[in-house]
Amino acid sequence: MTRFMLGILGFAALSLAEEASASAKNMPAALWDQLNVIWLALSVVIYLIVAVPSLIFMIKYRYKQGEREFGDQEHEGHWGLEALWTIVPLIIVIYLATHGFAIFKEMRTVPKDALEIKVTAFMWGWEFEYPNGKKVYAFFKQDKDPIKGYTAQEFEKPVLPVGKPIKVSLTSKDVIHAFYLRPAKVTQDAVPGRITYVWFQVNEEGEYWVFCREYCGTWHSRMFAKIKFVPEAEFNQWLGGQAELDKSHRTSQLEHTNIYATKGGALQ
């Protein structure tokens, strides 16, 4: 029995460690993972403390004919035990609440050296605007095959530096959308008429999807962008360079929005 329980615990710990290492360095993913490991470990331990004795007592004190049929014992309370099972859970709950709050604060406090970009969500795509005014539009164009899926072209990919905190100031042109970046484990609503924010840091180079995580209409399922995370020097070079295709792409985005407007939202 004990070996079995230890096996389950070991397995849980291993899979947790694996999950945590995948995003260990990214922020705020690392904070979420930390919370997840602590809460899960505590839940498993508490569950075992309750479930194992219950099972043992169920078997040990089950009804047997002629044995303790009318109850043969009077139990006095045990002050030490009462105090123990009141104080220990109290400490655990206080710890979880304060630790959770500290992590929440860290997630909502943007580091001072963060690079700030503006992201405007629209039906159905994303506009990324950099401090120097450079813009990147990422959206699913009609000429793209919806069955084969979406392949982002280079000029449609917003570029960001790795290993640097990024602050995204978010808003929306039409309805409520939500910005979700998988490796950083962040989601934030984009609300029309309001500016919300989210910060994150991705430490591994690569291309990562941004999805809309708030159902927003017909093409919600195709509302994504592909962010390219590159070393800072490469990012600066990209930011300074003029992307020839930006303009044509922007026209295309306006057409896209107009088509949507003239068809009264019935884009198929």
Residues that bind Cu ion (CB under 5 A): 177, 212, 216, 223
Note if the bond before 111 is cis, omega within 30 degrees.
no
Task: Report in angstroms how near the CB of residue 214 gets to Cu ion at its nearest.
Answer: 6
Task: Report in angstroms how near the CB of residue 260 gets to Cu ion at its nearest.
Answer: 13
Task: Report in angstroms how near the CB of residue 121 gets to Cu ion at its nearest.
Answer: 6
Q: Is 118 exposed, middle or buried (0-12, 13-18, 19+ CB in 10 A)?
A: middle
CA distance linking residue 187 with residue 36, whole number of Å: 17
CB nearer to Cu ion: give 36 or 187.
187
CB nearer to Cu ion: give 136 or 212.
212
Task: Report in angstroms how near the CB of residue 191 gets to Cu ion at its nearest.
Answer: 11
CB nearer to Cu ion: give 27 or 186.
186
Q: Would strands 135-139 and 115-122 be described as parallel, antiparallel, or unpaired? A: unpaired
CB nearer to Cu ion: give 173 or 250.
173
Task: Report in angstroms how near the CB of residue 81 gets to Cu ion at its nearest.
Answer: 55
Task: Report in angstroms how near the CB of residue 177 gets to Cu ion at its nearest.
Answer: 3
Extract the tokens encoding 25.
């360095």
- Percent of residues in the chain assigned helix, strand, coil, to nearest 5: 45, 20, 35
CA distance linking residue 51 with residue 244, whole number of Å: 65
CB nearer to Cu ion: give 119 or 223.
223
CB nearer to Cu ion: give 27 or 136.
136
Largest CA distance in the chain: 92
Extract the tokens encoding 7.
């096996």
Extract the tokens encoding 243.
């992307």
